[in-house]
Structure 1
Amino acid sequence: MAQEEIFVIGHVNPDTDSICSAIAYARLRQLQGLESVRPARAGNLNRQTEFILQELAVPQPQLLADVVPRIRDVLSDQPPVSIAADAPLSRALELFHLHNIRLLPVVDERQRPLGMLYLKKVSERFLVPSQERELRRVYASPASICRCLKATALHAVDADRLEDLNLYVAAMSAPTFADKMHNQDMRRMVLIAADRSEILRVAVENGVRVLVVVGSLPVPEEILELARRQQVTVLSTAFDTATSTWLTRLATPVGALAQTEFASLRPQDRIEQLRAALLHSDVPGAAVLNDDGSLLAVVTKSNLLQPSRRKLILVDHNELGQAVAGADKVEILEIIDHHRLGSLQTEKPIRFINQPLGSTCTLVATLYQQAALTPEPAIAGLMLAGLLSDTVLLKSPTATAIDRDMADWLGRCSGLDPQEFGQRIFSATSAMSAYSSLEQVVLSDFKQFEAGGGRFGIGQVEVVGFHEFHSLKGELAAQLERLRQQRDLALTGLLVTDIVAGDSLLLVSHDSTLPFAMGYPQLEDGLYELKGVLSRKKQLLPHLLKVLAPPV
């Protein structure tokens, strides 16, 4: 199986704290010996985060569109076991036994599957008692019989021609044999014999298709000369009669037995597609193909039981509704967060650190201190940026004494002045017109929540003054309504926060049937004034959860 991958990842529509805490915590875990961990992101970076990463010369974390388990996540590192189409069935049985497998891809010279050989089907055909005619039947060529018996061809005729043949053993006297063969079509016969010259002569004179002489016994020259005249193939094998009889039945080339209709998948396909292909089928597995159609691997029902090699450490969130797609289908190892608890459940105990701090970066910084580790200047700068961003330069009500202490410590570790660095961050990224679209203004820091059985979503954007917002509020309101309908939300809103004045405006769009009183001064339809409100999490969200709750 491929090597385990552990991703430290924040929520979808990541803000600065989400990205910076993911990078910083991944680095901490690396320093603590967790080598397979690395940071990731669950969406595009906003302008503020891009500015910070550029300032600190830190590369963007890997983008994960989803972590849904895929076929490639459960593949073995070992090359697949396969067999050429012209190989005898005996070789296939050896491979079945040697590798303890139940299916075997039959491939061409370019390793492209021509069909699939199933052990169960082979067993039903060759081991289950049936009519005598079927037990005698051998579909093979002289060449495949020769390979199967590890024989020497003393004389060969049309050695590669596949034919339906009947298998007989000359375990009788010459007269009895001659009588038995009187009404047989010996041109379609494989005869297993020893060194009884009279039987050999009768068989060759009657044009037996393949004569197998066992035990490496000598074949008289006159018999060979007769075989050349009668166009009879003569093989000499070291095996005894019983073994030769059994192996001859297994001389059929596997290409003739393979089922040409079989399940095939690509490495990027979801595990659920493998489940759908196999759980309601009697076949034990499927082929996994490369882009050129060649065989990459074989997957079976046992692969469905293997855990995904991808594992997650969640930072800055603890609800599946905010997590990267597929988070519910992989193992979550840790959660590092400063938000309210959601409804996420895990199969086994995990490390869960949740503290009422102004930012997740603050929490990660405390973990560096607890581990007696000093972050590199760039990592310290990232944590300082995330802290200052989430606490709005420590002005937010969410800011605590610990946040202020950590800001000072991170400033010393990074060589940055927190106040000056914070002003640069917000000055460079506070203009709404700098966003690529109004949709991006709404979605760049948009989070969804649940209240009273319904769902709502609130975005937040930080500005210096409300003048630009007022010129765009009509278009922003239309964008909020489109988003509400697209996502089937009861309410959508945009919290516009003036980081200098320390106040906010809330623009909302909601279902006309939604009965609630906003509880804030209303400036106009859908627009409310929120004096002293800076924090969506600590000030706005608790208020909305209360007003949107159904009446008791």
Structure 2
Amino acid sequence: MGIFIFGHKNPDTDSVASAIALSHLKQQLNHDTTACVLGNLNKETSFILDFFQVEPPKLLMDVKTQVMDLHHDTVLGIPPTTSILHAYKLMEAQRLETLAIVDDENKFLGIVSMKDIAMGLIKGNFEELKTSFENIVSDLKGIILTGGGSEVEGKLSVIAYYYKSVEGALSENDIIIVGDRYDIIECAVDSKVKLIILTGGMKIPKKYIQMATDNNVTILSTPFDTYYTSKIINQCNYISTIMRTKNIIKFNHHDYLDDVKEAMGNTHFRNYPVVDDYNTFIGFINRKHIMNPGKKKVILVDHNEYAQSVEGLKEAEIMEIIDHHKLGDIATSIPISFRNSPVGSTCTIIYQMYRENALQIPYSIAGLLLSGIISDTLYFKSPTTTKVDQDAVADLNKIVKLNLDTYAMDVFKAGTSLEGQSIEEIFYKDFKEFSLEGNRVGLSQVFTLDIEDVFNRKDEFILFIDKVSNNSNHDLTLLIITDILKEGSYLLFRCRNQHIISAAFHIEPYQGVFVQGIVSRKKQVVPQLLEGINSLK
């Protein structure tokens, strides 16, 4: 399945660009990786991907363990025209308890177990035969003396009577088993029966073969005696005559492990078939498979906290984390590669990894990395900016050759336009939750060049912030509206203790207050909130 690489929820340009670039780097190092996102792309990121003609990453909803992650038993299905005897021998040879019956396109039709075969031997219809001529020849190791055909369906009889006893009782629908009883054979040929099975490998006079040919009667010779032939003839029937099609519990390969466990807990079958969305048979799972399930492999970029990551992360195997934020709460059971650097963008770290591995950076990847750094550092205006970020952009621009001032403004214009977006969309486009000294804090940040549009809807934003705060039981819910040109931010908030706002930013805590120089949530807002909270203790 490979390794999924993704950033945080509500993806921004840095998280998306770093996921794509890291996936490309890993692929150059012969790793099977897929770049993913955990939500819809914002306008800025979409603009950048279009600019460099890069396909958007795969949308990943969760990394919960699914049936596809289990180490299922890979067993080939058999067609419904397979004989029961052949199916039994296959199960015995491969020590199988259950077989799947599939059509020509491997679509699931039903199942057969050893118990089904055993019950067929006890309760089966011993008077009828419905199978292919090929099955009879194969299972009885037969030799065709005359005739043939494709399908055989009729009434079975083992003839041990004097020929006068059956004279007039045979018809074209009969299939008879007989030894070297020429009188019976002649009577059967005259009656134009469907099939004569001659036991004991006996040879019969040519005249009877000629009679059978003239009457379009098929004669098959088997080396087995009459007793054995009569005992296994019913096992030449199609497997479809005993397969189960009802009350079968099967799983789709997308089904979650929790649902599988519940279904298995309420039933007592040994094996459960697995199919895909098109009912194509994949294999079987049973209780042993869910005892030690496989896990999805993931690499996290631009975050290292459960609250910011994908649903089901605790069920996945984290292979690596690359980030530039503070340490979060993610824990692993084994050592992993964890790279955390105090730079302005995760893309800067990915750029360094390309150089460390002496890998050439393609035009599109260079463009994404450069864009991620410009976006996350606000084109070097953010206090998170380092010389390492600036040097990385300078080096990457040798590949893409852009007018950086013009390009950066185009990026911000595309990303900060709020036209047509609802209050909820604007609030959640870059929203993160934190636990600060025991306080539940929700921080949303919006970068825009159109501050007027926000303040025209100021009251609506405040009502929405109140709703989020109540629903999430936040101690503080804060919307940071950052004006890139003025290099500061306006604040809208709901806070149980407004002294936190004044203590953190040294301002009077009223709705829409402007805080000069505050542009970074990570480097300024979070640390200052922590300082403000601690100062009030």
Question: Tell me, what secondary structure is at the counterpart of 1:24?
Answer: helix
After superposition, residues 406-445 of structure 1 pair within 5 angstroms as 406-416=392-402, 418-431=404-417, 433-434=418-419, 436-445=421-430
After superposition, residues 458-469 of structure 1 pair within 5 angstroms as 458-464=443-449, 466-469=451-454
Q: 1:173: which partner in 2?
A: none
- Select 2:493's aligned residue among 496, 508, 516: 508
Name the CA distance, whole Å, in 1 between partners of 2:337 and 2:218.
74
Identical-pair percentage: 30
Question: Tell me, what secondary structure is at the counterpart of 1:83?
Answer: coil
Name the CA distance, whole Å, in 2 between partners of 1:23 and 1:289.
28
Between 89-98 and 8-17, report the one with greater CA deviation.
89-98
Question: Tell me, what secondary structure is at the counterpart of 1:297?
Answer: strand
Q: 1:367: which partner in 2?
A: 353
- Select 2:500's aligned residue among 517, 534, 542: 517
Instruction: Note if contact 1:377-1:415 (Cα within 8 Å) is conserved in structure 2.
Output: no
1:369 partner amino acid? R
Name the CA distance, whole Å, in 1 between partners of 2:53 and 2:480.
31
Displacement of 1:5: 3.2
Instruction: Note if contact 1:278-1:284 (Cα within 8 Å) is conserved in structure 2.
Output: no
- Select 1:105's aligned residue among 85, 100, 107: 100
- Select 2:269's aligned residue among 251, 273, 282: 282
1:22 matched to 2:19? yes
1:470 matched to 2:467? no
Q: 2:318: which partner in 1?
A: 332
- Select 2:432's aligned residue among 447, 451, 456: 447
Instruction: Note if contact 2:9-2:309 (Cα within 8 Å) is conserved in structure 1.
Output: yes
Q: 1:46: which partner in 2?
A: 42
Q: 2:466: which partner in 1?
A: 481
Displacement of 1:17: 0.9
Question: Tell me, what secondary structure is at the counterpart of 2:236?
Answer: coil
Question: Tell me, what secondary structure is at the counterpart of 1:517?
Answer: helix
Cα-to-partner distance string for 1:223-257 (whole Å, 9 max, x where unaligned): 999999xxx99753123567535533523432232
Name the CA distance, whole Å, in 2 between partners of 1:108 and 1:315.
45
Q: 2:483: which partner in 1?
A: 498
Q: 1:59: which partner in 2?
A: 55
1:118 matched to 2:118? no
Name the CA distance, whole Å, in 2 between partners of 1:59 and 1:226.
74
Structure 1 residue runs without a partner (length 5+):
171-176
Name the CA distance, whole Å, in 1 between partners of 2:243 and 2:419.
62
Question: Tell me, what secondary structure is at the counterpart of 1:244?
Answer: helix
Question: Tell me, what secondary structure is at the counterpart of 1:539?
Answer: helix
Displacement of 1:202: 13
Question: Tell me, what secondary structure is at the counterpart of 2:244?
Answer: coil
Name the CA distance, whole Å, in 1 between partners of 2:233 and 2:73.
36
Instruction: Note if contact 2:72-2:284 (Cα within 8 Å) is conserved in structure 1.
Output: no
Displacement of 1:14: 0.7
Displacement of 1:286: 1.6
Report the TM-score when normalising by structure 2: 0.78
Q: 1:12: which partner in 2?
A: 9
Name the CA distance, whole Å, in 2 between partners of 1:77 and 1:455.
46
Question: Tell me, what secondary structure is at the counterpart of 1:399?
Answer: coil
Instruction: Note if contact 2:252-2:276 (Cα within 8 Å) is conserved in structure 1.
Output: yes
Change (3 A) 1:391 1:112: closer
- Select 1:94's aligned residue among 89, 94, 97: 89
1:400 matched to 2:391? no
Between 135-144 and 394-403, report the one with greater CA deviation.
135-144
Name the CA distance, whole Å, in 2 between partners of 1:32 and 1:369.
13
Instruction: Note if contact 2:250-2:272 (Cα within 8 Å) is conserved in structure 1.
Output: no
Q: 2:308: which partner in 1?
A: 322
1:26 partner amino acid? S
Cα-to-partner distance string for 1:84-133 (whole Å, 9 max, x where unaligned): 1x43211212332455543223356776544311134435665xxx8xxx
Q: 1:236: which partner in 2?
A: 221
Displacement of 1:44: 1.6
Change (3 A) 1:66 1:214: same
Name the CA distance, whole Å, in 1 between partners of 2:410 and 2:124.
86
Change (3 A) 1:425 1:192: closer
1:254 matched to 2:256? no
Instruction: Note if contact 1:138-1:251 (Cα within 8 Å) is conserved in structure 2.
Output: no
1:24 partner amino acid? A
1:343 matched to 2:338? no
Report the TM-score when normalising by structure 1: 0.76
Change (3 A) 1:368 1:109: closer
Name the CA distance, whole Å, in 2 between partners of 1:330 and 1:306.
11
Between 448-457 and 370-379, report the one with greater CA deviation.
448-457
Structure 2 residue runs without a partner (length 5+):
none
Q: 1:358: which partner in 2?
A: 344
Name the CA distance, whole Å, in 1 between partners of 2:209 and 2:354.
87
Displacement of 1:11: 1.1
Question: Tell me, what secondary structure is at the counterpart of 1:356?
Answer: coil
Instruction: Note if contact 1:192-1:214 (Cα within 8 Å) is conserved in structure 2.
Output: yes
The RMSD of aligned alpha carbons is 4.7
Change (3 A) 1:63 1:368: same
